[in-house]
């Protein structure tokens, strides 16, 4: 029998543990890890470099996406989005300048539309590169990008715990402000998709969260094998 290809959506607010959880699951099960937050950050960086640093400037630009060709670079288990052939370093997309505009740009329907096909297309990238499946993290993966995913997880943790985690990483970030914008926007807001499994990690460490989801993955794979 052909081996099962599994798709996992991991959504949650800022610093809810999506990235570390998704990375660990990808390693454990041989999945391709796709961080859609990095897509929004990379696109925000390109817009900033074009002098577009506000929603008003975006609206005033004739063709804000002119010549922005999206590509994928697979490094180990990670899929990184390239724009016009280059993948920015983490330090270029995780800093105050990008943090302060990314959620505003992410609320623009045109921006989300620009990334939609690319993000859905990552399933094919995972298949073409012979991964056992894909774990995609973001805000609207289970609700919008991969509503048909085999597992849809929604990670939560109380705001103080999330702020502490981000501070411990040594990265200054306005997570409360981004969460507010992400939850209140009209297009594909941060929301718990119907049928998603909620995991509150306030009192769980990374390995406990990973184990909980691993158990669900094993169940899915076993059910398929029957």
Residues near ligand CDP, by CB under 6 A: 14-15, 18, 36-37, 40-41, 102-103, 106, 138-141, 175, 178, 182
> Which C-beta is closer to ligand CDP: that of 16 or that of 77?
16
With respect to ligand CDP, which residue has the nearer C-beta, 40 or 131? 40
CA distance 17 to 156: 8
2 vs 186, beta carbon nearer ligand CDP: 186
Using H for helix, E for strand and C for coil, what is the string for 156-182? ECCHHHHHHHHHHCCCCCCHHHHHHHH
Q: How far apart are CA 221 and CA 217, in angstroms?
A: 6
Shortest distance (Å) from residue 53 CB to ligand CDP: 16
Least distance to ligand CDP, CB of residue 130, Å = 25
**In the complex, what is the shortest distance from the CB of residue 103 to ligand CDP, in angstroms, rounded to a whole number?**
3
Q: How far is the CB of 215 from ligand CDP (least distance, A)?
A: 24
In angstroms, how far is the first alpha carbon of the chain from the final one? 11
Q: Specify the residue, 131 or 162, whose C-beta has the smaller distance to ligand CDP.
A: 162
Minimum CB distance to ligand CDP, residue 164 (Å): 14
Put residue 84 in one of left, alpha, beta given phi > 0 → left and psi -120 to 50 → alpha: left
For CA atoms 74, 78, 81, 86, give the dihedral sign. Answer: negative
For residue 24, count other CB atoms closer than 10 A to its CB. 20
Phi, psi of 132 (to 5 degrees): -80, -5
Nearer residue to ligand CDP within complex by CB, 148 or 219: 148
Question: Which residue is nearest to ligand CDP, using beta carbons?
Answer: 37
């Amino acid at each position: 029998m052909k081996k099962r290809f599994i798709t996992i959506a991991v959504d949650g607010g800022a610093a809810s543990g999506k990235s570390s959880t998704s990375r660990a699951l990808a390693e454990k099960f041989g999945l391709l890890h796709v961080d859609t937050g990095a897509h929004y950050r990379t696109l925000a960086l390109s817009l900033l470099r074009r002098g577009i640093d506000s929603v008003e400037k975006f609206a005033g630009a004739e063709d804000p996406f002119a010549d922005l060709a999206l590509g994928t670079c697979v490094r180990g288990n990670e899929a990184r989005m390239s724009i016009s052939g280059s993948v920015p370093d983490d330090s270029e997309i995780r800093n105050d300048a990008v943090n302060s505009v990314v959620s505003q740009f992410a609320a623009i329907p045109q921006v989300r539309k620009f990334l939609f096909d690319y993000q859905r297309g990552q399933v094919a990238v995972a298949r073409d590169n012979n991964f056992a499946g894909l774990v995609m993290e973001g805000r609207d993966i289970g609700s919008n990008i991969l509503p048909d995913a085999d597992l849809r997880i929604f990670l939560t943790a109380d705001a103080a715990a999330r702020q502490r985690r981000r501070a411990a990483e040594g990265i200054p970030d306005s997570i409360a402000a981004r969460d507010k914008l992400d939850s209140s926007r009209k297009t594909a807001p941060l929301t718990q998709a119907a049928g998603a499994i909620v995991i509150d990690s306030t009192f769980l460490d990374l390995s406990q969260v990973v184990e909980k989801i691993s158990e669900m993955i094993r169940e899915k794979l076993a059910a398929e094998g029957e």
